[in-house]
Amino acid sequence: MLDTSRDPVPAPAPTSTENAPEEPRGCLFALSQPPLMIFLAVIGALLLMAALHDLFLL
């Protein structure tokens, strides 16, 4: 893989975890939260019930 950085020398890696900046939390962290998963499960169940109602009862 080609190195596309424009810096002549790469930045040194932090040596200790105490001074390292905290990494930003992304989408996978948000999806791991129980309230969000419960909300998405309820919405998914409602959509499933509506789809089954349309398929079999209408």
Q: What is the pLDDT of residues 21-36, one digit of tens each?
A: 677 777 777 777 888 8
Give the predicted TM-score (pTM) of the model.
0.50
Question: CA 34, 39, 43: angle at the middle one, nearest 5?
Answer: 145
Question: CA 31, 36, 42: angle at the middle one, nearest 5?
Answer: 120
Going by C-alpha positions, the residue among 28, 30, 52 that lies closest to residue 39 is: 30
DSSP 8: S
pLDDT of 47:
98
Mean pLDDT, residues 9-22 taken together: 64
Q: For residues 37 and 10, which has the higher predicted lDDT (pLDDT)?
A: 37
CB-based contact 36:30 (threshold 8 Å)? yes
